[in-house]
């Protein structure tokens, strides 16, 4: 699958294809079903520039836009800046209809880039999957739902709960949008523990009822506060008891940041959660590494979320 990654890199000259030859007659390619045309053009784009295909015809150009904007990965300051600039040059309707997955794996380090990221999220109002390096706020997430009737955003992946607004003063300013957002989400991942303690209940609270949630990931650091370990265990048990529609709840355990390698399965919290897992088979315990996010998302990769569940459930 083609992925748009706005990156400043040098590229070699692409090979020429027969599709690059401009003819006065309509291309016979357009007589094929749209799905097959997309598959053919995706293969061609592996070895040629999008611009070489776009000049064939307006119809081919529209197909190319569908492919290259389907998944957008912003993994650096430069890629965020360039894509933000692109959103200013085309109508919001274009991005709402074209971008289906948005990965903002770059963490903005200043207010300017933070608001650029917020605008990008808001403009891409048709996304079904959203990956973020931190919490961008309920209002920002709800903005992608405005005017949507197609089922909406179904997957959210957040690096950690850091940045969540307490006591959630912006929560549910528009209850209709919040309810729509909540009901559309089926997959939610909080990939890493935050810098401080945030309970599972507080993490889920901004997302609303999450009535259709089927896949949930939470994270916990081992050898941390024992009282919070008890709260974590109790709240995970409560989530399982009160959400019968939940198919799987994965808890990923991380070693302390200053420990290079540690078997988290020897920790007290692992033993506590194993008791819960023995009572409810939907709970899966996973050993994580402190560089997981870096390896999965701080690149042009866009399929890490899909692989996480596939590998976990195989």
Residues 297 and 154 grouped into a single domain: yes
Q: Which of 11-15, 156-160, 199-203 has the lowest mean pLDDT?
A: 11-15
Pick the last residue of a domain from 36, 68, 100: 68
Residues 139 and 63 grouped into a single domain: no
The more confident residue out of 39 and 153 is 153
Residues 46 and 144 grouped into a single domain: no
Answer yes or no: is 73 within a domain.
no
Answer yes or no: is 21 within a domain.
no
The pLDDT value recorded for residue 52 is 67
Residues 31 and 140 grouped into a single domain: no
17 pLDDT more than 50: no
The CATH number given to whatever domain includes residue 233 is: 3.40.50
83 pLDDT more than 90: yes
User: Which range marks the domain in which residue 54 is found?
Assistant: 1-6+27-68
Residues 237-294 have pLDDT tens digits of: 999 999 999 999 999 999 988 876 778 999 999 999 999 999 999 999 999 988 888 7
What average pLDDT does the structure give for the chain? 81
Residues 152 and 295 grouped into a single domain: yes
Answer yes or no: is 58 within a domain.
yes
**Maximum distance among all alpha carbons in the chain?**
74
Residues 152 and 290 grouped into a single domain: yes
The pLDDT value recorded for residue 109 is 87
Confidence of residue 50 (pLDDT cuts 50, 70, 90): confident
46 pLDDT more than 50: yes
d(CA 48, CA 240): 49
Residues 171-224 have pLDDT tens digits of: 444 454 455 567 889 999 999 998 889 999 999 988 888 999 999 999 999 999
Domain total in the chain: 2
Answer yes or no: is 198 within a domain.
yes
Answer yes or no: is 112 within a domain.
no
42 pLDDT more than 60: yes
Answer yes or no: is 139 within a domain.
yes
The pLDDT value recorded for residue 299 is 59
Q: Which of 28-32, 129-133, 264-268, 273-277 has the lowest mean pLDDT?
A: 28-32
**What tokens appear for 283 in the block?**
């709970």
Residues 154 and 273 grouped into a single domain: yes
Residues 158 and 287 grouped into a single domain: yes
Residue at token pair 């870096």: 294
Residues 153 and 63 grouped into a single domain: no
Pick the last residue of a domain from 19, 51, 68: 68
Answer yes or no: is 86 within a domain.
no
Answer yes or no: is 20 within a domain.
no
**What tokens appear for 241 in the block?**
């008891």
Residues 146 and 45 grouped into a single domain: no
The pLDDT value recorded for residue 219 is 96
Residues 278 and 198 grouped into a single domain: yes
Residues 147 and 266 grouped into a single domain: yes
């Amino acid at each position: 699958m083609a992925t748009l990654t706005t990156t400043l890199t040098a590229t070699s000259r692409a090979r020429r294809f027969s599709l690059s030859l401009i003819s006065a007659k309509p291309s016979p390619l357009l007589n094929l079903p749209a799905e097959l045309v997309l598959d053919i053009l995706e293969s061609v784009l592996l070895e040629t520039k999008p611009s070489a295909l776009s000049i064939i015809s307006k119809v081919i150009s529209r197909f190319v836009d569908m492919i290259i904007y389907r998944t957008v990965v912003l993994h650096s300051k430069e890629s965020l800046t360039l894509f933000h600039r692109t959103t200013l040059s085309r109508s919001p309707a274009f991005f709402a209809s074209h971008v289906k997955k948005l990965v903002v794996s770059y963490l903005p380090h200043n207010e300017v880039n933070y608001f650029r990221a917020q605008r990008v999220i808001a403009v891409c109002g048709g996304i079904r999957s959203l990956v973020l390096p931190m919490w961008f706020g309920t209002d920002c997430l709800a903005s992608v739902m405005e005017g949507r009737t197609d089922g909406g955003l179904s997957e959210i992946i957040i690096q950690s709960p850091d940045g969540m607004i307490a006591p959630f003063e912006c929560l549910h300013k528009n209850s209709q949008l919040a309810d729509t957002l909540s009901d559309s989400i089926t997959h939610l991942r909080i990939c890493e523990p935050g810098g401080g303690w945030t309970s599972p209940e507080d993490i889920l609270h901004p997302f609303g009822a999450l009535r259709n949630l089927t896949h949930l990931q939470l994270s916990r650091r081992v050898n941390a506060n024992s009282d919070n370990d008890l709260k974590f265990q109790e709240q995970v048990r409560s989530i399982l008891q009160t959400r019968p529609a939940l198919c799987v709840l994965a808890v990923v355990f991380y070693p302390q940041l200053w420990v290079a390698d540690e078997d988290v399965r020897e920790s007290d919290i692992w033993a506590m959660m194993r008791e819960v897992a023995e009572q409810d088979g939907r709970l899966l315990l996973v050993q994580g590494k402190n560089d997981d996010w870096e390896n999965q998302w701080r690149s042009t990769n866009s399929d890490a979320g899909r692989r996480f569940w596939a590998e976990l459930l195989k």
